[in-house]
Structure 1
Amino acid sequence: MDAEAPPWASLGRVQTELGGRCTGTLIGPRTVLTAAHCLVAPRTGALVRPSSVHFLLGYRQGTWKATSRAASVRTGPGFDPRTRLPRGADWAILTLESSISGTPLALLEDDPAPHLPLALGGYQQDRPEVLLADTACRAVGPAVLDGLRLIAHACAATRGASGAPLLAQRPDGDWAVAGVSVAAAVGTARGLAVPARSLRD
């Protein structure tokens, strides 16, 4: 995808100094949305230090438009980094050390209705240096795991797209974040996302 064009210009790579790589979305000048499990240290099963997390806006083949370290991290209530569960709490908000010059995306106020057209883009393991997206997928419907809401969708993604935004166009044509990708099925266009409105609850 063209990392200069909306809504892709609001995406970047989230990476830790331990080698973890995921996708993040600028939702405020100093605020990035990603998946909480992206911030778990593989050996200790604990969250990494915020200062070891970097956000690279518009990442492409070793270059980026802007970057900042995280100053703090807030995860979904009840998220356990040792188990990386529950899925419905697998979200994280990074507050950056400094503001980034970019176009933040708004959070969708309601869950997407079944069959609503969606798009899902991220830095996936098969092409980690560029932004790939499924721009012709749809919402399947709501799902509930461990008592928490999720969005089931039919968007294709692989590892690395964790933390990627599930995007929907509003009636005015602007893009908004409907959810954050937390799980993808291998070999089929199926996945789960935490609804954006869960971040407001």
Structure 2
Amino acid sequence: MRARAASLMAALICAVVGAPLAAGGLIRLTDRDDLFGWEAVGRLDLGLDGYCTGALIAPDLVLTAAHCVYDGDGAAISVQAMTFRAGLRDGAFISQSGIAQVAAHPGYVPGRDLTGDMVRHDAALLKLSQPIPAAVASPYMLAGEGQAGLRVSVLSYGRGRDAALSWQRDCAVTGAGQGVMKFDCDVTFGSSGAPVFVRSAGGNARIVSLISSGGGDAAYGMQLPEIVNDLKRALRAAPRIAPAAPRRMQVGQGHNAGGAKFEKP
């Protein structure tokens, strides 16, 4: 059974490689009005020159990729080096907070080659030292499991476009199975942890996945519902550390960094 599951995973990840990017394009969210409804997406700054994208799922909880919270040697990044800035754009932000606790999914092993199993568990939950009120940045709910053919959108920071959010409002799930999803969305370094949104029946944006890896012609993420439940349990057991006061940084600093490796599995 284990070998068969591995074969199915390999088939999913290898299939459709070379498919063209969606024609949705990228929209830069420059003005405050552009951010309406997207205030809870922000940039997670990691030390002096690293960053990823994250999103609030509660006033004090940020969801991002697990590989973002480790350095290139596989060591955990100190919470004192982390700051979450909601709605960051050209030096301004909706709100910011340091990080008090971090829980990466126990199924993610830092430093390992990027396999389907690593993508499936590449998620982390961060507890803010100061909650961001829902009236300032309304947290997102999770969607159910995504299926191939689903139309989605992605908001992310990225190399060369890290000063403000870029929104690809229309791309697609091109494959799904064994806890992994594949997208034809435009992602790059820094897009790690970016929320992948689907619209609910009521028109509200809900998070269906996070960007784990990708490049050029494809991106990959995980199915979220059970993963987030695991992360909440892990966070309750994680030590709480009083972070240092957030340090002011020049936006664009660290534009050559992206948190960690970002490649195709």
Residue 125 of structure 1: aligned partner = 159
- Cα distance in structure 2, aligned partners of 1:183 and 1:176: 20
Please state how far the C-alpha of 1:18 moved relative to its aligned partner: 4.1
The residue identity in structure 2 corresponding to 1:191 is A
Q: Which has the higher strand share?
A: 1
Q: Which has the higher helix share?
A: 2
Q: Deviations over 1:112-151 (max 9, x none)?
A: 222111001100112110111211111112144xxxx111
The residue identity in structure 2 corresponding to 1:114 is A
The residue identity in structure 2 corresponding to 1:192 is Y
Please state how far the C-alpha of 1:56 moved relative to its aligned partner: 0.4
- From 34, 45, 49, the equivalent of 1:19 is 49
Residue 103 of structure 1: aligned partner = 138
Structure 2 residue runs of 5 or longer lacking an equivalent are 1-27, 231-265
- Cα distance in structure 1, aligned partners of 2:181 and 2:200: 17
TM-score (structure 1 length as normaliser): 0.89
Structure 1 residue runs of 5 or longer lacking an equivalent are none
Q: Hey, which bits of structure 1, 4+ residues long, moved more than 6 A?
A: none
TM-score (structure 2 length as normaliser): 0.69
The residue identity in structure 2 corresponding to 1:5 is F
Between structure 1 and structure 2, the one with the greater Rg is 2
Q: Check whether the contact 1:18–1:41 (CA below 8 A) recurs between aligned residues.
A: no
Pick 1 or 2: higher relative contact order, CA cutoff 8 A, min separation 6. 2
Q: Deviations over 1:25-60 (max 9, x none)?
A: 011000000111112123x42011122211000101
Q: CA RMSD in A?
A: 1.5
Residue 53 of structure 1: aligned partner = 82
Residue 185 of structure 1: aligned partner = 215
Residue 195 of structure 1: aligned partner = 223
Decide whether aligned partners of structure 1 residues 83 and 18 sit closer, same or farther in structure 2, where only a CA change above 3 A counts. Answer: farther
Decide whether aligned partners of structure 1 residues 134 and 4 sit closer, same or farther in structure 2, where only a CA change above 3 A counts. Answer: closer
Q: Check whether the contact 2:39–2:94 (CA below 8 A) recurs between aligned residues.
A: no
